[in-house]
Chain A
């Protein structure tokens, strides 16, 4: 399977099964597109008169050579599909919901504006410690484990977070493991002391800001209905210029109200942000801000605009790392990792403030998906197996999709929300995922020294 497309005059042929990217001239582009449907003599007859017989023969030779090497029209790495054995989930990442409460009232919050449809609660330290014990035990032989402090707003439960970092580091050391913490925050409580703490303890940070003031304030008001942009932007700028800044992303959400979201990325870049993620809102059709099918053409053009902006910045020596345009070709993940992507319900679980386990943060509070508690330490195998089976070889849409080994099957929570099936991905999400991959591969080509 291949995917052939042109971006600003550059012809790109992506070989899906080998994950190789080829940049081709126009004659090759056309020949490759017809290669699987026309015989060699037909190709010669069709393109010989247009490009000259010698050129067509040269190209056919190059194609044959790449094919031989398994770099073009390569075979499915797992022809015939794959059946994964039912096994004990090996958990290596936890999302700790430190607080089901928030000091903002973001309109699109999937957490029901902080309370996940339940009580506004804080996770007691004891639950957090038990969760970390479970992670260190359930990760088996794996050395790297991850913990994300999430909410609501996790900094509403600051003392517990501080305690858990300390506890986790000690326990991980004892177990011979490396633990990596990430804090996702709306920044309002991210004061200088916390910034120092984050720097000294090497926490990764995700800071939420949507972009331009009007865009941000419309979707991220305070409980009193006021805008939060001013305070948030100040914090973001303070942190990214502080000596404590390490691994981080400044992230925002775009909705139907800012389909021109490349302007928001530009705004964040102007604030000095260099590691940016701005991503599509996921919301039910009943809201005024949900993305609609009719918005797709505009979003596609916007991603192209954004691609040019990112490229310009790279070429001017001021690179921006846009999260969704990163694609790793040289040292990318292995095939096993690409089958199920986020590995929610298998390797990644979320923990509610009360200590209940769920497949991921999007499932917290949904009883039918509860997978146990941190207190008994056992993770429900049945649910895990449901998620294990939801891999790209079992989803019809993914089987025939050229993006499958990079997208890895999309988001389970979205598939359920929109199609009520783990095996049927959210169509609009797919369209955007494929577009982003086109942009990402194009950037990869343009920033590769041998092509520019």
Chain B
């Protein structure tokens, strides 16, 4: 962790690309709203992706 820049640890999109795409995650409009969607709020269903 830097002195001036602190980074929240997270999976990078580049990493997700290598193992992702299994399609087991939920579709987005299903979770709560029916007129607007966000995707970034979902968890990946595939525990092996990490």
Contacts and interface: CB of A to CB of B under 8 A. Distances in A.
Contacts of A362: 35
Nearest to A437: B40
Interface in B1-50: 1-14, 16-17, 19-45, 49-50
A148 interface: yes
Contacts of A344: 29
A407 B5 contact: no
- If over half of B's interface residues share one DSSP class (helix, strand or loop), that class is named, otherwise mixed; here it is loop
Given A146-B27, A344-B29, A338 B13 contact: yes
A55 B6 CA distance: 15
A276 to B, nearest CB: 9
B24 A20 contact: no
A9 interface: no
B31 A341 contact: no
A70 B35 CA distance: 35
Interface stretch (A57-65, A194-202, A221-229, A261-269): A57-65
A127 interface: no
Nearest to B47: A331
Which of A65, A332, A336, A348 has the most chain B CB atoms closer than 10 A to its own CB? A332
A105 B21 CA distance: 41
Nearest to B38: A324
Nearest to A411: B36
Nearest to A337: B25
A342 B32 contact: no
A444 interface: yes
Interface stretch (A24-32, A158-166, A238-246, A375-383): A24-32
Contacts of A23: 5-8
Contact of B33 (A143, A251, A327, A406): A251
Interface stretch (A117-125, A277-285, A300-308): A277-285
Nearest to B20: A334
A427 B20 CA distance: 30
A261 to B, nearest CB: 14
A347 B14 contact: no
B13 A19 contact: yes
A277 B40 CA distance: 16
B33 to A, nearest CB: 5
Nearest to A148: B30
Interface string A86-122: 0000101101000000000000001000000000000
B22 to A, nearest CB: 8
Interface string A134-146: 0000000011101
Interface string A292-325: 0000000000000000000000000000000110
Interface of B: 1-14, 16-17, 19-45, 49-50
28 contacts: A18-B14, A19-B12, A19-B40, A62-B2, A63-B5, A65-B2, A66-B7, A70-B14, A146-B27, A150-B34, A206-B32, A279-B36, A323-B33, A329-B9, A329-B10, A332-B10, A334-B20, A334-B22, A334-B25, A338-B39, A342-B28, A408-B38, A411-B35, A411-B36, A411-B37, A414-B36, A429-B36, A450-B1
The 7 closest A-B pairs by CB, nearest first: A334-B20, A406-B40, A329-B10, A326-B41, A334-B16, A249-B32, A336-B21
